[in-house]
Chain A
Amino acid sequence: MRVVSNGLAVLACLSVASTAYGQVSARDIIERVDRITRGESSRGVATMEVVTEHWERQVTMELWSLGTDHSLVRVLSPAREAGTATLMAEDDIWNYLPKVDRTIKVPASMMGGSWMGSHFTNDDLVKESQLVDDYDIEVAFDGDRDSTTVWEFRLTPKPEAPVVWGHVAFRVRQDDYMPLWAKYYDEDGGLSRTMIYSEFRELGDRVVPTVMDMRPEDKPGERTTVRYDELEFDIDIDRSFFSLQSLRRRR
């Protein structure tokens, strides 16, 4: 009798341990994906193509990032908007408008609004880096899909997390930790938008997805595609770079 109950206790401990292990490893994988694609710091040049029902446009921009909390984007072309810049520091966003030579902090009520006409919201820019903080992460699938071994994660917002999604599904390729797609679901469980990562090639010193494609579900045919043309990691840059002064600095 005693032996049996001991055995049960051991089993119980084991199952708790394995759940805990699963949780930690899911987080580890996400963090590792993040480290690869972001690096400690980075600088790049990317072209953003936005296609909507009403217009299409291409914007080329230079981007810098430091850790997860600081980044800066400056528009290079079209000429009419060159110099327009966005600074993200912690949870705040500032836009610099060269035409009027003013810096505007995006108010909280506009954080859900579109960033530079794209299908990304201002919130996306500051929240994207906080997956691990804002979500409970579990492995929803571990195995082969379309002859590729992948993990699929289900990210459920923590109760107090300031997140607009009901949950997020995220697929990662196992052999090189490349993200394949992320699907964002609303609170009713309906698919709201899909981000697809593609064209994995060496840029800087590592293989990264060089194209990201955001497609909103409610506007078929519309998309925002970001294509990296240059990328370098772990550059010599510090916090002082991510200031309102450098935001205003014209090229």
Chain B
Amino acid sequence: MSESPWWRIGWRNLGRHRKRTVITALGLAVGYFAVVFLVGWVEGITAEMVENATGLVSGQIEIHASEYRPERSLYETIGGREGTDVAQMLREIAADSAVVAAAPRVYAGGLVSSGESTSAGMFMGIDPQLEPTLSRFLDELSAGRLPEPGRNELVIGTEMARQLVAGVGDEVVVVAPGADGSMGNDLFRIAGIFRTGMAELDATFAVLHLGDLQTLVVLEPGRIHEVAVSTADPWIAADTAARLAANLAPADLGLEVAPWTELRPEMVEYVALAQSFYFVIFVVVFAIAIFGVANTMLMATFERRREFAVMLALGTTPRSVVLTVISEAFAMGLLSLLIGSAITFPLMIWWHNAPPDLSWLYGEVTMFGALLTPSLRVEYNLAVWLQSGVALVLTALLAALYPAVRAARVPPADTLSGL
């Protein structure tokens, strides 16, 4: 390129009106930033939604008896009436390299009562050692601690605590229909209170030690309803689930191994919708940019029409004139990309690692049963960074096409004679 005089002329022409060049380049650079940032933000929201929906309570993969969903009957335990060797099953699951954590769970429905008030409760029996490695909702209790085994302790949500007018240390009555038809009931002490921000969870979930819940509802120790599994990346859950199903098949327990993509199809659809939206962002941002650049180039070429007339009169071919203008636009594109990258990359790295708080703009939002915190979290998407870089240069080139052709068609004699 440096051999060609047209490229040098184009580059030097940029310096003739520096203010205008910088403003136009800034416009393109902001366009580049807008695309990269908007896509990153949408991805950040999507990623947070998926992470919260799968990481807060449920895990990326759920393993049940095949009949358990959707009724979630107390009797449909893994391995049927005989139950299963839970420790052995957990070992087999943990043997898969994609599995980060696995935890057993028992569920039952019933009542929690304190004094005059009574709430309907969804009881979740957990292993307090394993559960925190998998789900996040018990990581930071707003008060107290997790239940200890054999002490009839439970952890309830803030909303249930409010309804029951009870706090840590208070005694509540827990009632749940047992698997033998009896009405299981016992006194429990509130060991802790959790808060997820999701009204439904905070009002209905009560977390007990797995063994205590089994005793309450008369289930043998080997009878559990679910093994929740987490994977490092939500997007490998489906493959991991298929592998786990194959690995667990020899035990012949009649299992259903369901990844979140199967349990929450609406969320998968939302992610696909968000991704198709990236294209719209591209088109809108660069369509605006293209007219800005075209305007500048038209002005720049009109100003220099006498110069083009001289060039043409001296024997420069129209093709070379076009090349000069295109080269100028190309140089402008590269300059914009440089400025754009200089603005974008530091901001993206900053917001990715320390998302600014946006609670002044909007409060907590729940979407598809996932809590979104108001923060400017962005995700990296290198493909989009490259694509919008290319799109930016193409935009500059495309915008210069018409002005270039106009410049090449300047009539030399008429222009030079002042007409």
- Taking Cβ atoms with an 8 Å cutoff, the residues of A that contact B are 50, 52-57, 80-81, 84, 95, 97, 99-100, 102, 104-107, 109-110, 114, 116-117
Contacts and interface: CB of A to CB of B under 8 A. Distances in A.
Contacts of B418: none
B182 A105 contact: no
- Give the dominant DSSP class at B's interface: strand
A223 B104 CA distance: 34
B182 A57 contact: yes
B186 A107 contact: no
B121 to A, nearest CB: 10
Interface in B100-117: 111, 113, 116
Contacts of A52: 181
Nearest to A107: B118
Contact of A97 (B120, B175, B177, B179): B175
Nearest to B119: A107
Given A102-B113, A102-B173, A110-B120, A97 B185 contact: yes
B342 interface: no
Contact of A105 (B116, B120, B179, B180): B116
A106 B181 contact: no
Contacts, number: 55
A107 B111 contact: yes
B111 A104 contact: yes
A54 B179 contact: yes
Contacts of B173: 97, 100, 102, 104
A222 B111 CA distance: 25
A55 B175 contact: no
B112 to A, nearest CB: 10
B182 A81 contact: yes
B75 interface: yes
B118 A55 contact: no
Contacts of B175: 95, 97, 104
A81 B181 contact: no
B249 interface: no
A50 B181 contact: yes
A96 B178 CA distance: 17
Contacts of A55: 179-181
Nearest to A100: B187
A100 B186 contact: yes
B183 interface: yes
A80 B182 contact: yes
B118 A117 contact: no
Contacts of A109: 120
Contact of B177 (A53, A99, A104, A114): A114
Interface of B: 75, 111, 113, 116, 118-120, 173, 175, 177, 179-183, 185-187
A239 B181 CA distance: 32
B180 A104 contact: no
A76 to B, nearest CB: 15
B72 to A, nearest CB: 15
A31 B328 CA distance: 99
23 contacts: A53-B75, A55-B179, A55-B181, A56-B181, A57-B180, A80-B182, A95-B175, A97-B175, A97-B183, A97-B185, A100-B173, A100-B185, A100-B186, A100-B187, A104-B111, A105-B116, A106-B111, A106-B118, A107-B120, A110-B120, A116-B183, A117-B181, A117-B183
Contacts of A100: 173, 185-187
A54 B80 CA distance: 11
Contacts of B118: 104-107
A31 B340 CA distance: 85
A106 to B, nearest CB: 7
Nearest to B182: A81
Nearest to B116: A105
Given A97-B173, A117-B177, 7 more contacts: A53-B75, A97-B185, A100-B187, A105-B113, A107-B120, A109-B120, A110-B120
A157 B142 CA distance: 47
Contacts of B185: 97, 99-100
Nearest to A114: B177
Nearest to A50: B181
A114 B180 CA distance: 14
Contacts of A117: 177, 181-183
B191 to A, nearest CB: 18
Given A102-B113, A105-B118, A81 B183 contact: yes
A104 B176 CA distance: 13
Nearest to B120: A109
A116 B180 CA distance: 11
A60 to B, nearest CB: 14
Contacts of B177: 114, 117
Contacts of B180: 55, 57
A50 B119 CA distance: 27
Nearest to B74: A54
A102 to B, nearest CB: 5
Q: Nearest 7 pairs between A and B by C-beta?
A: A117-B181, A104-B113, A55-B181, A57-B181, A97-B185, A102-B173, A100-B187
A81 B182 CA distance: 8
Contact of A54 (B75, B182, B187): B75
Nearest to B204: A109
With most chain A CB atoms within 10 A of its CB, the pick from B75, B116, B183, B187 is: B183
A244 to B, nearest CB: 11
A102 B183 CA distance: 14
